[in-house]
Structure 1
């Protein structure tokens, strides 16, 4: 039992290291198999990132105005993650918009930078996220942050489990897959987050948040599949970011 718990803690730390910039022990053992098994914790790590944002939101709201608190909250989540998904969103937006065929899109995704399309797309997404959070009352905004970050990571896990990887060579190891049991565990975590959201809002609000996440995440997945026949790591950033926005958009419908 102790060995099993120790292994689960190890997998969680691996996932935390993959998705955030939280300092980890340098000797944390890893392998392709362990990374795949750790994928199930992505929604939980996302919820923790959201919880950091929620904590900053609450503390900052005691000192500054609501817009300032929301901005500081967003900054805290970007600091914790190193803008991991935001960078992928911007890079994939640029490549999908500029690339005319599969190979040109993949070449665009290989660059370490992005141009005006990626910058504007990310800027608009962040501005929309800020505007949506400002429309929510403080308590609901905090809960929404936790749910949005967790469900957003679940959207990326779902694409990993159900969609073809676009590259036939190269950096596939940088995008860990997920086992059937791992997918079910991630789905259960997301279900708990959604249930918590329903508990503090309503069934209708929770349903709108869920449908918003599914709809926007699938838009990005379908665009990637149409352009290059599958997804890449950067495309997962777009799926995650849009799923986050979908949750917040669904919530604001019922404010």
Structure 2
């Protein structure tokens, strides 16, 4: 496993093919654990706003965009947004019924089961060159500085993500990037192991804690870079708290993490 070093020496990687994969569940299943933002209308509004933001990056840092939705909901308003922006040829929509699992399996299981479906069925993915990079973003969120993250990505990575070790080991799952090889080695079929760890009915590990352990074990033979630079600035409503990432204490956390990333890069908070 290769950790990051000397990021400033890397040249922008904009010449590689970059595909943005937005994942979406407009109508979440009843009984999803800890989920508070459940109104399909509100969630659709989140996806519409995020799609408008990411469309502006086409032809600059992003080459193509895939919008994947796994509750087989109406996505016509999203398709209209793409049509009006005149990006129909660069956007692929994949809408299917992918919620055929117990809601208790939780968010990471469902999202990466969706990713598995996309990687197996997307025409965009099928035609990618080996060095292309797929950027998976949780579709309701906008990563405001994703252009900078993409253009300053280290060269020759197979898997690019953001781990934290303080206050506990944690993998941020709202933004993850991989090459076709990185996916085959580290992420293929990972969804089946991403259920929360339960002991005697008590949740003892969140999916993000399970994910970091799995990736560190699976990625030993590929180039894993486990810290983003710059620190992602995420805007949007967190689904299990209904709090905005860029308000109050959450905004303060971003500034602290951004400062630590620049001044104390070994401090993974």
Q: TM-score, normalised by structure 1?
A: 0.31
Select the structure that is richer in helix.
1
Q: TM-score, normalised by structure 2?
A: 0.30
